[in-house]
Amino acid sequence: MINQSLVTPEEAAAMILQEERLLLAGDFALLSQLPKGNWIGGTTPFFILYPEHQVTSYDKLFVTRLPDYIVKTTIREYDRSDIQNIYIDAERLGNVFTILILPFGSEVTTTFTLNATYYENFAGRPLAGWVAGRPLDTIMTEPSYAISGVDTQPSAEKAFAMHIELPKTKYAELHTFNPYIQGKGDDITFEQSSMVLTDALINGKKRNFAEYLRETGFNPQMPFVANYSGAMINVVCCGITEKEVYLSAPVFQSVNYRIAEIDPKITEPTLTDEKILFSATCIGNFIQPNICAQYLRKMHGPVVYGEIAYQMLNQTTIYLTVDDIS
Amino acid sequence: MIHTASTIDTIPDSVCEYVILHSKEFSWNFLALKISLTRLNLKIAMMKNRDSAIRDCCAELKTLLKKSVAIPNAQNDISRILEIKP
């Protein structure tokens, strides 16, 4: 494990004052009292941390201390008007990977979620990140925050990114752990990319999607899954009204989705945890004890409301590794 | 490192086109490639000028591979692409 732990706000403040470069996650009251420095953070009280696996804390912060070999970090803030530059910025900064924290429910989050795959230089550099949230009972009614050590002003509207430069001898790579695959049910496609759905093409036949899900006894714990050339990409349903279906990430026009099933060949990632520099796990996996205990033992990090591996993902664990170029 | 940017320049556009249009038939290792291939596949499907879209997408694919040559999983995928004969 690379320098990841739960610490008190006082301990985090001491690290910041010692000019450590930090990625932070925790409760709003703790993050908002930290001093200026080289850090970014976001709100969540939930964490994956060995050996407890599922940790809830309102009095400690989850901290990832960047290793000494990191050459340089650059913190940038983004809003809906300039988030499309994030891959361009990374490219300009050299051999970097980027950690992005977006506040749940913000316009910048929606903009990134809908459009990231169309951004210039998409996937040209590893972009990992997460959507900051709150406890489930207040996630829809109270704001979530991202924050940076540049001005220490929590924001419910701005995203903060840390572009992290590696030495030329190292590379970063993004991975996902997804317990789901496409099930054997109907092929579901959509005529428009959207996060709010009215109609769907079920095996090519157009019909109201909410009615279809009700009629087929859809289990909302199961995401819709698309096969991206071998990468299973989930989209979570977060609400069904009489005629509409609401999603926490978009479905894309012409991509084929199916309702998920648990991957029968699921295995724990084989990487050694020393190489995992950053990880984030969806709250949809966090609330399933078997998944955390069996498969996520090395995935220490915040529990989140959307995880980013190049683009927004759902109900997935993302992790970023750093290794030597051979 | 086996493959370099100049190796990637030798990949014919016909191979890039085949890789994009048949991306699900292969087992890829590199996550960025998996996601990008699907995105490029959709881009070709959506654009009115198919020939122009294919040219653009082949160039994008090569650019991604060049940026990723330091990554072993990308190297493995480049090896696979070099073996493809459409």
Nearest to A179 by CA among A306, A303, A257, A288: A288
- Total domains in chain B come to 1
Task: Please check whether residue A173 touches B, CB under 8 A.
Answer: yes
The span from the CA of A40 to the CA of A34, in Å, is: 11
**How far apart are the C-alpha atoms of A23 and A7, rounded to whole Å?**
12
- A223 in Cβ contact with A236 (< 8 Å): yes
The amino acid at residue A21 is: R
A303 interface with B at CB cutoff 8 Å: no
Q: Domain residues for B56?
A: 5-83
What pLDDT is stored for residue B1 in this prediction?
65
Domain positions in chain A: 4-176+266-324, 180-261
Strands lying side by side in the sheet with A237-240: A194-197, A245-251, A237-240
- Optimal mutation site among A173, A193, A229, interface B, most CBs of chain B within 10 A: A229
pLDDT of residue A13: 98
Q: How far apart are CA A53 and CA A298, in angstroms?
A: 9
Q: What is the mean pLDDT of chain B?
A: 94
**207-236 in chain A: CB under 8 A from chain B:** 226-231, 233
pLDDT digits (tens, 9 = 90+) for B42-56: 999 888 898 999 999
Sign of CA dihedral A192, A198, A202, A204: negative
Contact B67 A126 (CB under 8 A): no
Write the CA distances from A136 to A52, A102, A133, A141, A303, integer angstroms.
Answer: 20, 17, 8, 10, 12
Q: How many CA atoms lie within 13 A of A177 on its CB side?
A: 25
The pLDDT tens digits for B8-34 are 999 999 999 999 999 999 999 999 999
The predicted pLDDT at position A1 comes to 44
Closest-approach residue (CA) in chain B for A176 = B31
Q: What is the distance in angstroms between the CA of the first residue and the CA of the last residue of chain A? A: 22
Name the interface residues of B facing A (CB cutoff 8 Å): 1, 23-24, 26-28, 30-39, 41-42, 45-46, 63-64, 67, 70-73
What is the C-alpha separation between A252 and A266, in angstroms, rounded?
26
Distance from CA of A125 to the nearest CA of B (A): 8
Read off the amino acid at residue A221.
Answer: Q
User: Closest by alpha carbon to A285, among A9, A46, A50?
Assistant: A46
Contact A109, A161 (CB under 8 A): no
ipTM (interface pTM): 0.93
Q: Give the pLDDT of residue A199.
A: 97
> B70 in helix, strand or coil?
coil
Question: Does A52 reach chain B within 8 Å, measured CB to CB?
Answer: no
Q: How much is the pLDDT for B13?
A: 93
Average pLDDT by stretches of 10, chain A with 326 residues = 84 97 97 98 94 89 96 98 98 97 96 94 97 91 96 97 97 94 97 94 97 96 94 94 93 94 87 82 85 81 96 94 92
